[in-house]
Structure 1
């Protein structure tokens, strides 16, 4: 307790470049969340098919998965800031293309339907596949010591989720009251601001690597590192399958429109609800980081996430659904922060791009693949049974992980134990 009381919960926020980093992260996440709401509502409005919502996730996840390992290698051999600036420039072009499609003079969507939107989402998936490892490995270079990793991850995750909280609500409100073109304009402006903030951060040299390797050997080394470390492997596997089966967020347009009989404004608030719970829990964890019995607590929280998904699927009350979504975000917060702290702490600096790419294949794309899974199961089983099935499978995954992964189950994140791990 004495050690914990000496921690400064705002330590990384006192670093000017870290403040620029989280400002950039705030803007790009706001933009992507606003875009997700607009694209989801727009495509469902065009197709009236829940499977089309799953295809959005697939269109983004497939290219991200394909480029992930190579993107991780690039993040370890090319200055990470350079990658980030290039990728955000591509995302800006994607946002401008989506805006262009909505202009009345183009009539692109009237002629081709949702296909042009899927094409842009595919390109943004490629860009985000490169951005993930670069941002993941660049963040620790802005922090002076490993002792601040947990604090940096907590605030970085809080910023991401705060944007996830505000973004959907902003997107839904702008779409509902001002139209699709105004919403896409907001999206593009926020991407531009993110580009400006990242450009203001000083470049960082690549970490020294005493054993440089060619592409093939480098990728193999990164993969082997993850698969030989039971704690990292079991933690990211748990998140992979939990998010894969618990991907109810992709079906929120159906719940908002058909089950709860609400409009795009309500959809925005529903998409934001998990982030409310995430942010509140992350702030609590900034003051009271989880150390003792971290593995057991992580497993219980993922189980809590699964229970929330089951109850959400059965709910016909808007406010009860909002509470359940918020609780799911609170449970998810603990899992994300523990997993990210583990990866940053246990991975050498010169290998973080490659390890992050493996993590992104497991976890980073699981939201999109989970969206596709939800769309397919909703098509086959119906929307409500699909969501309940996903929650039940999440509980099964927790049970199997708790039984098989004894090191994760017994994980302790006190400084001595974490160093030993």
Structure 2
């Protein structure tokens, strides 16, 4: 079965459409929250606090969420998580419509979003191997990523336009997309999941963390991504760059957020047809290094077109890393542990994204947005150098499957 043949795989396509709708809702939402809270507070630190509020629930729930995903229907866990997300966005819509929204309400909704994400992310990652066979996993991962990135392109740009009519209009649109993604999960359309209800013990909850720590390929790949993005993240600073550096408005912010996704989409479509099948370790490290170099270029840019180009490169490089990492993690992990390992992976991703936003917001408050971005890019390059020395097994990895791995 080739990538186009996946379009005829009804369970996968249903899952794919649901993922696109959920991603569309989130991307529009993040544009609205970032622009709204920056205008409410005029503070770079407030942008960082948005990321921190989304991250803290994942920090608290990471072990419990993995246990739940491995011992309950992953489809049900996704359904409950998306229901919570839909209700949370509806609160933002209602309070904006009534003109009573405050930074505290936004932070509270971010906490609820973090709770939903703590359960949905590992359930979603562990679900894909239950839908397609092992030989299709790499293509399915790339295909899923391409759909998500397509919505990430359209979502921020459209969100910036919709925001012209007000935050309530943007949040209402996001609520409808999230509701659609929830309704899609109501129809059982996937292969019957195999799970056994184990008692919730500390040993069971720590199983995924122990397995991840003991596997240098898994731990090396997800920690490389975590620290690289944690140090090099620029997402939280895009409202500042758009308004104060590039002197543009919400539409410009939407273009900046979409640019990263355009690069990621183009790369994910390429990888869906031509999966990475050799020298995966080297390609992983090179892609992260390119991400860091492009971050420096973005920080130094003073024009919109150059900033967009830098973000395009960042998105394409990051997608190579995402597909290699996510595929290797799923192939290296037995199904009965995929929920717990995916939860650890999701925690690392959350740390890099949400805590990275907080770090960049705090650093920008101290040094300014431009120095914070450049420092982050240089730091990412340093992480690549360190990890290539500390994890030679990962660097020498030739193929996605473990059998041909170099000793």
Task: Give the shorter-chain TM-score range.
Answer: over 0.9
Task: Tell me which of 194, 219, 223 is aligned to 2:181.
Answer: 194
CA distance in 2, matches of 1:174, 1:102: 14
Q: Does 1:77 align with 2:71?
A: yes
Cα RMSD, aligned residues only: 1.7
Q: Which residue of 1 aligns with 2:4?
A: 10
Q: Which residue of 2 aligns with 1:180?
A: 167
Change (3 A) 1:19 1:201: farther
How big is each residue's C-alpha offset from its partner over 1:25-55, in whole Å with a ceiling of 9 and x where there is no partner? 0001000010000000000010011111011
CA distance in 2, matches of 1:207, 1:418: 29
Change (3 A) 1:368 1:415: closer
Q: Does 1:168 align with 2:159?
A: no
Task: Tell me the CA shift for residue 11 of structure 1.
Answer: 3.6
CA distance in 2, matches of 1:291, 1:204: 27
Q: Does 1:91 align with 2:85?
A: yes
Change (3 A) 1:374 1:414: closer
How big is each residue's C-alpha offset from its partner over 1:267-311, in whole Å with a ceiling of 9 and x where there is no partner? 001001011000101111122211211111110110000000011
Task: Tell me which of 28, 32, 35 is aligned to 2:22.
Answer: 28
Q: Does 1:369 align with 2:355?
A: yes
Q: Does 1:396 align with 2:382?
A: yes
Q: Give the match's secondary structure for 2:4.
A: coil
Q: Give the match's secondary structure for 1:289.
A: coil
Q: Give the match's secondary structure for 2:185.
A: helix
How big is each residue's C-alpha offset from its partner over 1:244-285, in whole Å with a ceiling of 9 and x where there is no partner? 011111100000000000000010010010110001011111
Change (3 A) 1:86 1:228: same
The 5 Å alignment of 1:114-129 reads: 114-129=103-118
Change (3 A) 1:74 1:418: farther
CA distance in 2, matches of 1:66, 1:335: 26
8 Å contact kept, 2:332–2:402: no
Q: Does 1:224 align with 2:210?
A: yes
8 Å contact kept, 1:11–1:151: no
Task: Tell me the CA shift for residue 10 of structure 1.
Answer: 2.4
Task: Tell me the CA shift for residue 416 of structure 1.
Answer: 7.2
How big is each residue's C-alpha offset from its partner over 1:191-245, in whole Å with a ceiling of 9 and x where there is no partner? 1111121222436544256x95643121222111101100000000100011101
TM-score (normalised: structure 2): 0.96
The 5 Å alignment of 1:310-325 reads: 310-325=296-311
Q: Which residue of 1 aligns with 2:143?
A: 155
Spell out structure 1 runs of 4+ moving beyond 6 A. Answer: none
CA distance in 2, matches of 1:308, 1:418: 32
CA distance in 2, matches of 1:31, 1:416: 36
CA distance in 2, matches of 1:379, 1:415: 44
8 Å contact kept, 1:79–1:204: no
CA distance in 2, matches of 1:74, 1:34: 29
CA distance in 1, matches of 2:48, 2:401: 42
Q: Which residue of 2 aligns with 1:302?
A: 288
Q: Does 1:58 align with 2:47?
A: no
**Structure 1 unaligned spans of 5+:** 1-6
Q: Does 1:342 align with 2:328?
A: yes
Q: Does 1:108 align with 2:94?
A: no
Task: Tell me the CA shift for residue 138 of structure 1.
Answer: 1.5
Task: Tell me the CA shift for residue 155 of structure 1.
Answer: 0.6
CA distance in 1, matches of 2:404, 2:121: 25
CA distance in 2, matches of 1:315, 1:420: 41
Q: Which residue of 2 aligns with 1:139?
A: 128
**Structure 2 unaligned spans of 5+:** none
CA distance in 1, matches of 2:402, 2:99: 62
Change (3 A) 1:401 1:190: same
Q: Does 1:259 align with 2:245?
A: yes
CA distance in 1, matches of 2:180, 2:404: 37
